[in-house]
């Protein structure tokens, strides 16, 4: 531990970035990331074994009165006799095929992949020298992250990694409040260490009490730097709790270390964060299960999931419609963002038929309409139409009532892409942003429309332009999926 901390200090000291917001704000957001547009998030771990409630099962099973607690006692017995650690031998991943996963992700149309390397439960899904509680030494006895990096890299997918480790400070804390298998002595490196109950259980505060200790935060820093050095992820994603005030010095040191290592390797990297954990401009904002209402002048990411009720696989999962996910993707891209779409594999390493069905439908649409998504830039407006998108996190469970009058715009080359969020029953569309108007109306488009085609349909379709908008007719549609018009401009 001490030796690695010394290495971290040396790498930070040698630059080019130091552990200050002033220095970190000099980082330039890489254009390569914003070109990718669609990524796959993976929540898979020991919590996939009970496959109940959600990925917070490890915490909730130690909270008397919760669904998970009652289910656990009824199914596995008292927590003192069967605790969370006892699921590890059952997590065998016997059907895990990283090459098949990589092919599935590529077929979905994804360009990057971000597996959860360590979730709040503290079980590492990769080979580690920091703790023996990892998938390489226990459970599957495979370097899951390493195998995914190799398989996805072979398909040309950009690899990232997600660390939710810092939440482990409090995650299993309630297990110390009654007779369970979480008890002293707990030492650094143990699965259950430190299991600290947070006062009032107010987890969104910036000042949790008791605050994470220096020992814990140094352990977090070393684990994250080990992840960086061993797997060289191009994208590093963090969950929300890194915003703790006591974590800030370690967070800045981690960012400097990552950016300096990237400079040493000759690559550009991205850190994705939530809330205001990082000073704006030092990393990339992420909106969990939601999006922004307007276009942004900076790169950002929306992370969401195929399942509405859980990030991991459970027997109770309720799944989104593929068309709704594609509509959200179009909305996010039109506002200068990328979408990270989560899938939760089963404990044996297979991906459910329900997930696969949704992914196949997304992939079919992306194969036809990808030119309006990949490498696309924002236009002068993100879109138009009557439907308002609620801004903020945890809003993706509310179904948006998009219509054929709702459009999202992207631009690429000499073309404007107008994505009709719903197909029109009669095949008639009107893009109001392209209405003819006097030149003094500065907010209107005054260029020349040379032609209109439909991605996946005719290269030329009937159109006319007047003071109301650009009127287009086509009978082409892909079920309930959005319809994309390629509009050649001069």
User: Which 8-state DSSP code applies to residue 7?
Assistant: H
Assign 46 to helix, strand or coil: helix
Residue 225 has pLDDT above 80, yes or no: yes
- pLDDT bracket for residue 128 (50, 70, 90): very high
pLDDT digits (tens, 9 = 90+) for 359-378: 999 999 999 999 999 999 99
The whole-chain average pLDDT of the chain stands at 97
CA triplet 323, 329, 331: central angle to 5 degrees? 105
The CATH 2.60.40.1180 domain(s) of the chain lie at 383-489
Q: Using CA atoms, how far apart are residues 125 and 41, in angstroms rounded to an integer?
A: 14
* Whole-number pLDDT of residue 441: 63
- Token pair of 209 as six digits: 């009490």
Nearest residue to 133 via CA among 177, 187, 214: 187
- In sign, the C-alpha dihedral spanning 7, 9, 14, 19 is positive
- What is the mean pLDDT of the segment spanning 472-489? 97
Q: Which CATH class is domain 2-288?
A: alpha beta
The three-state DSSP-derived secondary structure of 412-427 is ECCEEEEEECCCCCCC
The three-state DSSP-derived secondary structure of 421-475 is CCCCCCCEEEEHHHCCCCCCCCCCCCCCEEEEEECCCCCCCCEEECCCCEEEECC
- What is the mean pLDDT of the segment spanning 298-325? 98
pLDDT digits (tens, 9 = 90+) for 395-451: 888 889 999 999 999 999 999 999 999 999 999 999 999 999 887 666 778 899 999
Residue 456 has pLDDT above 90, yes or no: yes
Residue 190 has pLDDT above 80, yes or no: yes
Task: Give the containing element (helix H, strand E) for 265.
Answer: helix 248-265
* Whole-number pLDDT of residue 201: 78
Into which CATH architecture does domain 383-489 fall? Sandwich (2.60)
- Cβ-in-10-Å burial (0-12, 13-18, 19+) of 466 comes to exposed
Residue 8 has pLDDT above 70, yes or no: yes
- What is the mean pLDDT of the segment spanning 30-43? 97
Residue 147 has pLDDT above 70, yes or no: yes
- What is the mean pLDDT of the segment spanning 182-204? 93
Q: Using CA atoms, how far apart are residues 282 and 430, in angstroms rounded to an integer?
A: 41
Q: What are phi and psi of 302, to 5 degrees?
A: -105, 125
Cβ-contact 450, 488 below 8 angstroms: yes
The CATH 3.20.20.80 domain(s) of the chain lie at 2-288
Residue 317 has pLDDT above 80, yes or no: yes
Nearest residue to 102 via CA among 157, 152, 149: 152
Q: Using CA atoms, how far apart are residues 174 and 68, in angstroms rounded to an integer?
A: 13
Place of tokens 């990925």: 55
Q: Using CA atoms, how far apart are residues 462 and 470, in angstroms rounded to an integer?
A: 11
């Amino acid at each position: 531990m001490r030796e690695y901390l010394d290495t971290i200090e040396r790498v930070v000291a040698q630059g080019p970035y130091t552990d200050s917001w002033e220095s970190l704000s000099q980082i330039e957001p890489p254009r390569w990331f914003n070109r990718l547009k669609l990524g796959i998030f993976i929540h898979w771990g020991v919590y996939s074994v009970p496959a109940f409630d959600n990925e917070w099962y490890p915490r909730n099973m130690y909270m008397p009165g919760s669904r998970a607690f009652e289910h656990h006692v009824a199914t596995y017995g008292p927590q003192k006799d069967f605790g969370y650690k006892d699921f590890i031998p059952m997590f065998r991943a016997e059907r895990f095929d990283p090459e098949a996963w990589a092919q599935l992700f590529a077929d979905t149309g994804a360009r990057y992949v971000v597996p959860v390397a360590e979730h709040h439960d503290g079980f590492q899904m990769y080979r580690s020298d920091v703790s023996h509680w990892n998938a390489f030494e226990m459970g599957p006895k495979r370097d899951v992250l390493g195998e995914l990096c190799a398989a996805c890299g072979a398909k040309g997918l950009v690899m990232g990694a997600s660390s939710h480790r810092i939440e482990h400070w409090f995650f299993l804390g309630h297990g110390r409040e009654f007779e369970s298998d979480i008890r002293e002595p707990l030492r650094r490196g143990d699965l259950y260490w430190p299991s600290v109950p947070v006062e009032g259980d107010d987890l969104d505060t910036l000042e949790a009490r008791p605050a994470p200790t220096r020992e814990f935060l140094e352990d977090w820093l070393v684990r994250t730097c080990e992840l960086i050095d061993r797997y060289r992820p191009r994208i590093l994603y963090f969950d929300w709790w890194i915003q703790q005030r006591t974590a800030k010095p370690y967070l800045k040191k981690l960012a400097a270390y990552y950016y300096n290592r990237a400079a040493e390797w000759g690559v550009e990297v991205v850190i994705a964060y939530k809330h205001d954990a990082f000073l704006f401009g030092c990393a990339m904002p992420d909106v969990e299960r939601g999006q922004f209402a307007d276009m942004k002048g900076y790169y950002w990411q929306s992370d969401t999931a195929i399942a509405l009720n859980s990030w991991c696989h459970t027997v109770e999962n309720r799944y989104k419609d593929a068309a709704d996910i594609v509509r959200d993707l179009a909305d996010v891209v039109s506002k200068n963002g990328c979408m990270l779409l989560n899938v939760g594999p089963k404990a044996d390493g297979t991906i459910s038929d329900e997930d696969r069905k949704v992914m196949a439908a997304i992939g079919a649409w992306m194969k036809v309409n990808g030119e309006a998504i990949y490498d696309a830039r924002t236009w002068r407006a993100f879109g138009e139409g009557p439907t308002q998108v609620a801004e903020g996190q945890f809003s993706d469970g509310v179904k948006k009532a998009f219509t054929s009058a709702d459009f999202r715009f992207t631009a690429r080359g000499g073309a404007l892409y107008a994505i009709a969020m719903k197909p029109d029953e009669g095949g008639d569309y009107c893009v109001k942003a392209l209405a003819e108007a006097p030149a003094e109306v500065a907010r209107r488009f005054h260029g020349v429309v040379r032609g209109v085609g439909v991605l996946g349909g005719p290269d030329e379709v009937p159109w006319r332009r007047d003071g109301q908008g650009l009127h287009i007719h086509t009978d082409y549609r892909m079920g309930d999926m959005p319809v994309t018009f390629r509009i050649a401009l001069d």
